[in-house]
């Protein structure tokens, strides 16, 4: 077969075109899926570095070919489409300028610059190449974005395997052990799960809006199992309230979008042949969907009920948050282990993690950020550094404010918050305005989930920053309709 291709110029040209457009795109998507699956796992730093280096080379080649194809086809792209990547690029530039002119901890900052931020930069390159590859594959396979979640799915499968061993040995369905599983603490599991759920729900909505017939049983089964597995991990393995809240937020957001899509479809004027095809399709489509939705809803409600029974912090979250934000009246936040926790108006002690999250985030915003408007240049635990400098008797165990946007502000000032949060927010606004974008709803769901997760989660350093840069670049590229008709060759 190879000799026949080599002897025939036409076959050789066709094989080369197929290799350049499809095979290389699949390779990059597969490697990125593996990278997302291991990015937040322990003991994978060497493999992550290898994947980032290898994918960066492939991505740069793909980006250059896309640029050449776009220039040849004379397709003009408004600069506003590149706003998220532009803001992200300014953030990388600001990190370097901060090190050169404003550094207070040069050794730590240089170490982060050559590790975390270097990998984040490579992650942005890989994300851009992966996004363009997804556009190539999406021409024939509208569900191409789902392949990016396979690596995360298998990570949760391995976590479930670890959980079953511990649960059986403890004779308890709640085998909670944050540091005993493959992810770095429970927040890394939350981050992976939110990416998984948002991409799956968003992709299903995008396919449904365009071609509902493309949602076959395999896609439905994978989507249902993946989302339920992530939520199951939130309840029985990680016991995380922010994960449950964000998963429900994505589900409600998807339902609202689905209702809007159905109303739009009903307003279209279809001819008789289209109406007949729609009726034939909807009869079997609705029956299968009803069983899937009913089964998934029953399992989801059961898990939520178990979570509410096990985690009582939900019932007083508003009152505890209100007390946590009163940092002048209640000084306990400086060292809760030494000073204890305050009591609410009913005389009950506040739930510790709720109080700490809101108190430390409030202190970061109202005390340390105004005192350090340009930031201290250290992305790893800047709140702990500033806390111990200002309050020597504060608790040395306090890691962060549990809010990534606040931590980024403490590290790189108001400009840092504007650039990093602005890159994600601009994706949401672009997706909201792009009515014909192929992956519009996936971008909407993922960007909104990331904005909220990085607001309430301690995902502000190392792999969390790297994954954020990857996702910003990837989502920006899959929103560009101008590349749909581009063809490039080796």
Task: Please give the pLDDT value at position 284.
Answer: 46
Task: Please give the pLDDT value at position 432.
Answer: 86
Whether residue 12 is predicted with pLDDT greater than 60 in this model: the reply is: no
Whole-number average pLDDT of the chain: 85
Least confident of 1-5, 331-335, 345-349: 1-5
Rounded alpha-carbon distances, angstroms, from residue 114 to 51, 85, 110, 118: 17, 21, 6, 5
Task: Please give the pLDDT value at position 34.
Answer: 97
SS3 call for 406: helix
The pTM of this model reads: 0.89
SS3 call for 41: strand
| Four-CA torsion 163, 167, 170, 174, nearest 10 degrees | 90
Rounded to an integer, the average pLDDT of 342-366 is 89
Confidence of residue 75 (pLDDT cuts 50, 70, 90): low
Whether residue 84 is predicted with pLDDT greater than 90 in this model: the reply is: yes
Whether residue 299 is predicted with pLDDT greater than 80 in this model: the reply is: no
Rounded to an integer, the average pLDDT of 351-364 is 92
Task: Please give the pLDDT value at position 275.
Answer: 42
Confidence of residue 422 (pLDDT cuts 50, 70, 90): very high
Confidence of residue 172 (pLDDT cuts 50, 70, 90): confident
- Are 412 and 375 contacting, i.e. CB atoms less than 8 angstroms apart? yes
Least confident of 193-197, 384-388, 393-397: 393-397
Rounded to an integer, the average pLDDT of 391-400 is 89
Whether residue 480 is predicted with pLDDT greater than 70 in this model: the reply is: yes
Strand partners, 183: 41
Task: Please give the pLDDT value at position 226.
Answer: 93
Whether residue 44 is predicted with pLDDT greater than 70 in this model: the reply is: yes
Give 236-263 pLDDT, tens digit per residue: 898 888 888 888 888 888 888 888 777 6
What are φ and ψ of residue 274, in 5° steps?
-65, -40
How close are the terminal C-alpha atoms of the chain, in Å?
21
Alpha helices in 139-215 (DSSP H): 150-170, 185-210
Confidence of residue 482 (pLDDT cuts 50, 70, 90): low
Output 287 or 457, whichever has higher pLDDT: 457
Output 171 or 270, whichever has higher pLDDT: 171
* Residue 267 Ramachandran class (φ > 0 left, ψ -120 to 50 alpha, else beta): alpha
Task: Please give the pLDDT value at position 213.
Answer: 67
- Are 237 and 176 contacting, i.e. CB atoms less than 8 angstroms apart? yes
- Are 98 and 112 contacting, i.e. CB atoms less than 8 angstroms apart? no
Residues 379, 111: Cα–Cα separation, whole Å: 11
Confidence of residue 77 (pLDDT cuts 50, 70, 90): low
Tokens of 233: 């991990």
Whether residue 193 is predicted with pLDDT greater than 60 in this model: the reply is: yes
Least confident of 35-49, 287-301, 381-395, 409-423: 287-301
Rounded to an integer, the average pLDDT of 345-372 is 91
Q: Tokens 């912090």 identify what position?
A: 313
Give 49-74 pLDDT, tens digit per residue: 999 999 999 999 988 887 777 665 55
Whether residue 16 is predicted with pLDDT greater than 60 in this model: the reply is: no
Least confident of 316-320, 362-366, 383-387, 414-418: 316-320
Q: What percent of the chain has pLDDT over 90?
A: 52
Domain boundaries, the chain: 13-269+399-483
Give 402-420 pLDDT, tens digit per residue: 999 999 999 999 999 999 9
Task: Please give the pLDDT value at position 270.
Answer: 41
Task: Please give the pLDDT value at position 264.
Answer: 62
Residues 99, 80: Cα–Cα separation, whole Å: 29
CA-based nearest residue to 70, from 132, 18, 126, 134: 132
Whether residue 277 is predicted with pLDDT greater than 60 in this model: the reply is: no
């Amino acid at each position: 077969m190879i000799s026949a291709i080599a002897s025939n110029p036409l076959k050789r040209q066709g094989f080369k075109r197929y290799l350049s457009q499809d095979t290389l795109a699949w390779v990059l998507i597969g490697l990125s899926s593996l990278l997302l699956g291991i990015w937040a796992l322990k003991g994978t730093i060497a493999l992550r570095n290898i994947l980032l280096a290898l994918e960066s080379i492939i991505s740069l080649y793909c980006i250059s070919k896309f640029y050449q194809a776009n220039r040849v086809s004379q397709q003009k792209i408004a600069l506003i489409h590149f706003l998220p990547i532009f803001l992200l690029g300014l953030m990388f530039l600001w990190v370097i300028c901060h090190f050169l002119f404003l550094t207070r901890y040069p050794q730590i900052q240089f170490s982060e610059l050559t590790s975390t931020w270097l990998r984040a930069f490579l992650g942005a390159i890989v994300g851009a190449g992966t996004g363009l590859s997804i556009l190539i594959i999406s021409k024939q396979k509208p569900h191409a974005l789902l392949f990016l979640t396979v690596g995360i799915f298998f990570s949760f499968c391995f976590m479930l395997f670890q959980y079953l061993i511990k649960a059986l040995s403890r004779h308890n369905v709640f085998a909670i052990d944050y540091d005993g599983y493959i992810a770095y603490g429970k927040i890394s599991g939350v981050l992976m799960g939110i990416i998984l759920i948002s991409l799956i729900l968003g992709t299903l909505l995008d396919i449904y809006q365009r071609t509902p017939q493309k949602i076959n049983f395999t896609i439905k089964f994978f989507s249902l199992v993946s989302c339920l597995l992530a939520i199951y991990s939130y309840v029985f393995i990680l016991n995380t309230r922010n994960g449950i809240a964000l998963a429900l937020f994505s589900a409600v957001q998807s339902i609202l979008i689905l209702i809007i899509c159905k109303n739009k479809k009903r307003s279209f004027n279809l001819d008789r042949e289209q109406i007949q095809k729609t009726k034939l399709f909807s009869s079997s489509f609705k029956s299968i969907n009803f069983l899937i939705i009913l089964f998934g809803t029953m399992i989801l409600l059961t898990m939520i009920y178990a979570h509410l029974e096990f985690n009582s912090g939900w019932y007083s979250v508003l009152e505890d948050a209100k007390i946590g934000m009163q940092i002048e009246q209640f000084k306990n936040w400086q060292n809760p282990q030494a000073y204890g926790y305050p009591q609410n108006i009913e005389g009950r002690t506040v739930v510790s993690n709720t109080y700490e999250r809101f108190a430390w985030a409030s202190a970061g915003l109202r005390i340390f950020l105004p005192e350090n408007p340009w930031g201290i240049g250290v992305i790893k635990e800047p709140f702990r550094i500033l806390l111990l400098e200002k309050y020597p008797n504060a608790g040395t165990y306090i890691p962060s404010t549990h809010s990534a946007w606040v931590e980024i502000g403490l590290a790189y000032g108001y400009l840092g918050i504007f650039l990093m949060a602005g890159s994600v927010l601009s994706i949401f606004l672009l997706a909201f305005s792009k009515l014909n974008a192929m992956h519009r709803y996936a971008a909407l769901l993922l960007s909104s989930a990331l904005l909220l997760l990085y607001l309430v989660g301690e995902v502000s350093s190392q792999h969390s920053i790297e994954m954020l840069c990857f996702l910003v670049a990837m989502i920006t590229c899959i929103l560009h309709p101008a590349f749909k008709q581009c063809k490039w060759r080796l």
